[in-house]
Amino acid sequence: MPGLGTIINVVLLVAGGLLGLAGGRFITPRIQDTLMKASGLCVLFIGLGGTMQKMLLIDGEALATTGTTMLIVSFALGSLIGEAVNLEAAIENLGEWLKRKTGSEGDNEFTNAFVSTSLTVCIGAMAIVGSIQDGLLGDWSTLALKGALDCIIVCTMTASLGRGCIFSALPVAVFQGTITLFAGALSPIMTTAALNSLSLVGSMLIFCVGVNLIRPQTFRTANMLPSVVIAVIYALLF
Q: Mean of the pLDDT values across residues 104-113?
A: 93
The model's pTM is: 0.89
Q: Please give the pLDDT value at position 219.
A: 95
Tens of pLDDT, residue by residue over 53-70, are 999 988 777 888 899 999
60, 163, 150: which is closest to 107 by C-alpha? 163
Cβ atoms of 35 and 172 within 8 Å: the answer is no
pLDDT range class, residue 76, cuts 50, 70, 90: very high
The answer on pLDDT for 28 being more than 90 is no
Domain ranges across the chain = 4-58+65-237
Indicate the length of the chain as a whole number. 238
Q: Please give the pLDDT value at position 234.
A: 96
Tell me the average pLDDT of the chain: 93
Report percent pLDDT > 90 for the chain.
Answer: 77
Q: Please give the pLDDT value at position 48.
A: 94
How are beta strands 62-65 and 56-59 bridged, if at all? antiparallel
The answer on pLDDT for 36 being more than 90 is no
H-state helical runs in the chain: 4-24, 29-55, 68-85, 87-101, 110-122, 125-137, 141-161, 169-181, 183-186, 192-214, 226-237
pLDDT range class, residue 181, cuts 50, 70, 90: very high
DSSP line for 167-219: GGHHHHHHHHHHHHHTHHHHTTT--HHHHHHHHHHHHHHHHHHHHHHHSTTS-
Report percent pLDDT > 70 for the chain.
Answer: 100
Cβ atoms of 153 and 44 within 8 Å: the answer is no
Q: Mean of the pLDDT values across residues 114-141?
A: 92
